[in-house]
Structure 1
């Protein structure tokens, strides 16, 4: 008597063997996975860290009307300060039109070449963030103070 052996196959709806599709998808996943991970799992490449990429601060943008208004406000605070009374004490300032505020932490007055100037450092707290600035304002021939420089510090 002969025995009849029936081999069973698991079939999808379209008639293809189920096992080959699973193997194909698993193989593609394994090959694609290293591209989504860190270099620690990158088995096929000897890529080195790219040292040519530099990070730094964003260059200062062109002055806006808000920053100019803040500069004028700081300049007015520096020029109207009575240095004999402040004697190294911080001087707060605020600009209601921009919402910015800060603290002038140093004012130094000098009389270089016959011109009275005040150098200062200040902070500016604004919607952009907090930054430190250094500036200089001088008494010009007309008797008015003129802001000569106002630069953001690194």
Structure 2
């Protein structure tokens, strides 16, 4: 009778092992046909997708890329005298850089008015301090005539 229990136990363990294997194999078998029917193969992986969209337009060499200097120049030029007392944060979504403009002063050389400032620049390459000077053009626009890394 002891033999019968041992054989029964072995039979039950075998059935349990088969159930576990079936439970593991079933999801794999169901997923494989989906992968195979989608064309996922070594050959299809090497092919080039020729689809293009109008949403992404490449920049031409002649187009003006809005650089950090351009953002800073426009911000400094748009300030009124009252706003030049407090530090002013800036950011450029195109380059991912940001900083704070501070230490403003105004210089007038005859008819030419300039604004001297310092700014930090936090970019992918680290944090740096820059000294800058923006001067007003006769048409009322501003040019960034100096923008140098401090200590260079």
TM-score by length of 1: 0.53
Q: Is the 8 A contact 1:109 1:117 kept in 2?
A: yes
Q: Is the 8 A contact 1:78 1:107 kept in 2?
A: no
Shift of 1:98: 0.5
- Which structure would you say has the larger RCO, counting Cα contacts within 8 Å and 6 or more residues apart? 2
Alignment of structure 1 residues 36-55 onto 2, 5 Å:
none
Q: As a proportion of its length, which structure holds more helix?
A: 2
Matched, 1:89 2:86: yes
Shift of 1:87: 4.7
Post-superposition CA distance 1:108-138 (Å, at most 9, x none): 1121122111011000000000000001111
Task: Count how many residue pairs are aligned between Structure 1 and Structure 2.
Answer: 88
Structure 1 runs, 4 residues or longer, greater than 2 Å off? none
Matched, 1:132 2:129: yes
Q: Is the 8 A contact 1:95 1:101 kept in 2?
A: yes
DSSP-derived class of the 1:104 partner:
strand
TM-score by length of 2: 0.54
Cα distance in 2 between the residues matched to 1:116 and 1:145: 10
Post-superposition CA distance 1:64-90 (Å, at most 9, x none): x98x70011111111112221x25210
Structure 2 unaligned spans of 5+: 1-63
Alignment of structure 1 residues 1-154 onto 2, 5 Å:
69-84=67-82, 86-154=83-151
CA RMSD of aligned residues (A): 1.8
Structure 1 unaligned spans of 5+: 1-64
